[in-house]
């Protein structure tokens, strides 16, 4: 018989201690119909569709975007030609921060970490030859979402696609920007107001579109535990829903078009249980707190793929293996969409080779490994079901702590309370890595002397010529457009923005559509909004 004194302790990142063995006694209190159920039925623990991947494999959506819209259009077409069936668009930092490419503050950053977008002309080039009615597109944009969304809808119109037929997603989660990324512009309240505007507008005009994808992903990447990732994301989603309900919409009119972007790295079992618990909790939260009745509203829709935080600079080819396991977790977790990180992302914008390896990884899982054969194959495991229960209990407790001790998520973000909590966890995680308590193969265990790889990583070359092309197109747009139409549209944006400040709020999206159709630029529209709303000042946390 084994010597129990030599059994090592196992504690998951969420603080959950794990026993060496689980059995019927650990799930004796569970009721199958109440707690697990069938896929496609409340509480959706086992997945949101009855047959899951047997009916339709997960959507494969690689994150792509760099340089000019023309450069990015080429990468989009490369991915589609090799079997990708959706797009996930990266924007450069100037675009994310509401700056035009000719702004002095944009110098050296135009097209560096994503695609540069200044006007509707750029969006037309980016999606030239890409049928918006057939390829689902996710726009990874936040602070200036109303502008970019309006441009995308305008491109759809130019392609002959009616607004009520447009499909796709915008990230549009500003609260997580204050917590985890820093790409904010406006103060919290007007920023949330604009999110509610997009949700209300899409519910009434583009009902197939997902205007918000709440991103636990970035919160987790910034240091949060898996429990905190779900808890903070759900608090954020609940805050957005409350704002739209306050406008008189029924939750079933819009909340079914709210999705989530979640992170995957770390312990396989913890990650799978996290998502099973999250699905069950979301269904209960929407029914019990908001009175949702439509099954579509109760379904937690998510994109989940490998988290860049799990990748390593040391021995980066190991990231190919990590990515394959992240994809496996995503499939076992019941994700609707998979966006798998590339092995070279710790160094650079992914090369075509690295992007293709990640795409092929997802395709191999779907077509060779049997991941589409049956729904929720881990259901009924004593350990998985016990851990699912434990994750849900801890997520609920963390959400309650945000409400009771931090004054709710909006107050907690406005005053830096959640940011401080995530920073504390990030430090604790890094200390565990340095002490070897958290193992990273090739980093603090089994490390080669110099961490070199068998083949050099191909670095993405930043091309100044691309910036010149972008600046030339911007100058051409400004020279050719109708200045009077631009001025009138910007005046309307200003007036409609002021309506929310002075009472009698007007939805900003129609004004945004007028402005982008007149070829007003991202920077011009953002500057108008800054004049009305001001800018966010980060709270002092220490």
The residue ranges of DSSP E strands in 65-216, in sequence order, are 86-89, 136-139, 168-170, 209-210, 212-215
Highest mean pLDDT among 304-308, 405-409, 536-540: 405-409
User: Which tens digits make up the pLDDT trace of 303-315?
Assistant: 997 778 899 989 8
More confident residue, 448 or 336: 336
User: Which tens digits make up the pLDDT trace of 188-237?
Assistant: 999 999 999 999 999 999 999 999 999 999 999 999 999 999 999 999 99
What does the pLDDT read at residue 6? 67
Q: How far is CA 237 from CA 148, 176, 287, in A?
A: 21, 10, 14
β-partners of residue 168 are 209
Distance of CA 516 to the CA centre of its chain: 25
Query: What is the token pair recorded at 427?
Result: 């430090």
- How far, in Å, CA of 467 to CA of 65, rounded? 14
Query: What is the token pair recorded at 512?
Result: 């945004």
**Whether the predicted pLDDT of 542 surpasses 60:** no
Task: Compute the residue count for the chain.
Answer: 542
| Burial tier of 433 (Cβ tally within 10 Å: 0-12, 13-18, 19+) | middle
Share of the chain above pLDDT 90, in %: 81
- How far, in Å, CA of 181 to CA of 491, rounded? 31
Q: Which residues of 479-488 are buried (b: 16+ CB within 10 A; e: fewer)?
A: eebeeeebee
Q: Which residues of 237-261 are buried (b: 16+ CB within 10 A; e: fewer)?
A: bbbbbbbbbeeebbbbbbbbbbbbb
Residue with token string 């535990």? 225
**Whether the predicted pLDDT of 367 surpasses 60:** yes
pLDDT-wise least confident of 222-236, 276-290, 445-459, 528-542: 445-459
User: Which one, of 395, 215, 181, lies nearest residue 302 by Cα?
Assistant: 215
What does the pLDDT read at residue 532? 97
**What is the residue-averaged pLDDT of the chain?**
93
More confident residue, 39 or 86: 39
CATH dotted code for 41-435: 3.20.20.240
DSSP state, residue 409: H
**Whether the predicted pLDDT of 103 surpasses 60:** yes
**Whether the predicted pLDDT of 1 surpasses 70:** no
Query: What is the token pair recorded at 89?
Result: 């668009």
Query: What is the token pair recorded at 403?
Result: 């409400």
- How far, in Å, CA of 333 to CA of 376, rounded? 7
More confident residue, 450 or 238: 238
Q: How far is CA 58 from CA 31, 62, 305, 367, in A?
A: 29, 12, 11, 11
What is the pLDDT confidence band of residue 252, given thresholds at 50, 70 and 90? very high
Query: What is the token pair recorded at 80?
Result: 């589609």
Q: Which uninterrupted H or E stretch holds 220?
A: helix 216-221
pLDDT-wise least confident of 60-64, 327-331, 364-368: 60-64
User: Which tens digits make up the pLDDT trace of 431-484?
Assistant: 999 999 999 999 999 988 765 554 577 776 777 888 999 999 999 999 999 999
Does the CA dihedral 287-422-424-18 come out positive or negative? positive
User: Can you give the residue ranges of every domain in the chain?
Assistant: 41-435
User: Which tens digits make up the pLDDT trace of 119-135?
Assistant: 999 999 999 999 988 88
DSSP state, residue 56: S
**Whether the predicted pLDDT of 485 surpasses 90:** yes
């Amino acid at each position: 018989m084994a010597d129990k004194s030599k059994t090592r302790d196992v504690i998951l990142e969420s603080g959950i201690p794990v026993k060496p063995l689980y059995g019927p006694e650990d799930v004796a209190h569970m009721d199958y119909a109440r707690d697990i159920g069938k896929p496609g039925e409340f509480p959706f623990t086992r997945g949101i569709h009855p047959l899951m991947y047997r009916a339709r494999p997960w959507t494969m959506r690689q994150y792509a975007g760099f340089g000019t819209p023309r450069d990015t259009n080429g990468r989009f077409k490369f991915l589609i030609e090799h079997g990708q069936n959706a797009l996930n668009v990266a924007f450069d930092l100037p675009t994310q921060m509401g700056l035009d490419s000719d702004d002095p503050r944009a110098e050296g950053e135009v097209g560096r970490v994503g695609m540069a977008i200044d006007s509707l002309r750029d969006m037309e080039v980016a999606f030239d030859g890409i049928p918006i009615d057939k390829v689902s597109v996710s726009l990874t944009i936040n602070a200036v979402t109303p502008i970019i969304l309006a441009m995308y809808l305008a491109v759809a119109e130019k392609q002959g696609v009616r607004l009520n037929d447009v499909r796709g997603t915008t990230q549009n989660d500003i609260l997580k920007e204050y917590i985890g990324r820093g790409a904010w512009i406006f103060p919290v309240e007007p920023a949330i107001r604009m999110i509610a505007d997009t949700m209300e507008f899409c519910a009434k005009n583009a009902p197939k579109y997902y205007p918000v994808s709440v991103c636990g992903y970035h919160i987790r990447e910034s240091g949060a535990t898996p429990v905190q990732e779900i808890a903070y994301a759900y608090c954020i989603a609940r805050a957005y829903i409350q704002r739209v309900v306050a406008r008189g919409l029924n939750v079933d009119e819009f909340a079914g078009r709210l999705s989530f972007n979640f992170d995957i790295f770390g312990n396989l079992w913890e990650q799978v249980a996290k998502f099973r618990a999250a699905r069950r909790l979301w269904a209960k939260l929407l029914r019990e707190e908001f009175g949702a009745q439509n099954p579509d509203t109760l379904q937690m829709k998510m994109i989940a793929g490998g988290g860049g935080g799990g990748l390593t600079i040391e021995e980066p080819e190991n990231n190919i293996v990590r990515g394959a396991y992240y994809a496996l977790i995503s499939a076992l977790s019941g994700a609707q969409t998979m966006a798998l990180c590339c092995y070279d992302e710790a160094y650079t914008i992914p090369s075509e080779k690295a992007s293709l390896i990640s795409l092929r990884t997802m395709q191999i899982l779907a077509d060779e490994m049997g991941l589409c054969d049956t729904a929720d194959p881990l259901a009924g495991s004593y350990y998985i079901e016990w851990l699912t229960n434990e994750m849900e209990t801890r997520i609920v407790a963390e959400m309650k702590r945000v409400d009771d001790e931090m004054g709710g998520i909006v107050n907690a973000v406005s005053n830096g309370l959640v940011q401080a909590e995530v920073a504390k966890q990030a430090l604790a995680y890094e200390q565990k890595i340095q002490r070897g308590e958290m193992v990273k193969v090739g980093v603090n265990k089994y490390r080669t002397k110099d961490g070199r790889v068998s083949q050099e990583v191909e670095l993405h070359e930043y091309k100044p010529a691309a910036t010149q092309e972008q600046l030339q197109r911007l100058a051409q747009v400004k020279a050719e457009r109708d200045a009077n139409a631009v001025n009138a549209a910007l005046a309307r944006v200003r007036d409609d923005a002021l309506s929310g400040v002075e009472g009698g709020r007007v939805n900003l999206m129609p004004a945004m559509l007028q402005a982008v159709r007149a070829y007003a630029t991202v920077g011009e529209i953002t500057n108008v909004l800054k004049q009305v709303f001001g800018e966010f000042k980060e709270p002092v946390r220490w």
